[in-house]
Amino acid sequence: MMPQSIGRKYNIFFYIFIFIFLSTINNISWNNKLDSILKIKKVEVTGLDNDLNQKIKKKFDYLIGKNIFYISQNHIKKILNNINYIENYKVSKFFPSKVKVDLYSTKILATTYKKNKKIYIGSNRKFIDFNGKKLERNYPIIFGNFPIDEFFNLINFIEKSNFDIEEIKEYYYFPSKRWDVKLNNEVIAKLPNENISNSIDLLSKIVKENISKDNKVIDLRVPNQIIFSNE
């Protein structure tokens, strides 16, 4: 009876071995199939014009063939954060094999020139180089070597006032951290270093009531005074 008992034990071990072996084969096969299903086959980029969408899409070619579970969100964010004309974005995974990137363009506020090259300023506080790409509309031009924060300080004062920012054609920045603005009617307004908010409110009234008439310059640098001139 003893050999018979041993034989039964061997049979039990054998069946256990076969079960584990077949389970392992099935797991490997299933894992391979699952990995194939979860490989990214498409990256879709939307939100900007077609040329810019396609340009950005090429930056994500490296995702094709990667497992959708294991892609690095931080790496994607790093790529997008380095694109200056993007204000915001949303990255979505559509299982099993698609990634969609929705882009939101920054609003262009003005242009300037750096090393004789046209540069745009976005509402995201970044200088933007479109590499020769022409935008459809013209924007106010900023002259002078200005820090970006100084420009947005001025914009902040204007937006809090009743003055229509669309009236401004050109901005001039001076080393003394003072601004002049040229209006669409070619009148230049000289703003002070301090109490800029009050000066812009005054300018708004002058423009609405057409007080300047034929004068070319409105000097608001002296507190509580408005000086008109043709110089």
Q: For 206-231, what is the mean pLDDT?
A: 84
The encoded tokens of residue 174 equal 């001076």
More confident residue, 214 or 171: 171
Which residues 6+ apart lie within 8 Å of 155 measured at CB? 109, 165
Q: What are phi and psi of 183, to 5 degrees?
A: -90, 170
Q: What's the pLDDT tens digit per position in 24-68? A: 545 556 556 656 778 999 999 999 989 899 999 999 999 999 988
| Residue 143 CB contacts under 8 Å (≥ 6 apart), including other chains | 112, 170, 171, 172, 173
Asked whether the beta carbons of 126 and 96 are under 8 A apart, the reply is no
Q: What is the pLDDT of residue 18?
A: 45
Q: Which residues pair with 105 in a beta bridge?
A: 86
Backbone angles phi, psi at 227, to 5 degrees: -115, 120
Mean pLDDT of all residues in 76-85: 94
pLDDT for the residue numbered 68: 87
- Percent of the chain at pLDDT above 90? 59
For residue 21, the model assigns a pLDDT of 45
According to the 3-state scheme, what is the secondary structure of 43-95? EEEECCCHHHHHHHHHCCHHHCCCECCCCCHHHHHHHHHCCCCEEEEEEEEEC
The share of the chain scoring above pLDDT 70, in percent, equals: 83
Three-class DSSP category at 189: strand
* H-run or E-run covering 219: strand 217-219
Query: Taking 60 as the threshold, does the pLDDT of residue 103 lie above it?
Result: yes
* Residue 219, phi then psi, degrees to nearest 5: -100, 115
pLDDT of 157: 95
Residue 181 β-bridge partners = 171, 189
Res. 203: pLDDT tops 50: yes
pTM, entire model: 0.78
What percentage of the chain's residues is helix, strand, coil (to nearest 5)? 40, 25, 35
Residue 143 token pair: 């002259």
62 with 3: CB under 8 angstroms?
no
pLDDT tens digits, one per residue of 113-144: 998 899 999 999 999 998 767 777 889 999 99
Nearest alpha-carbon partner for 68 in 45, 101, 94:
94
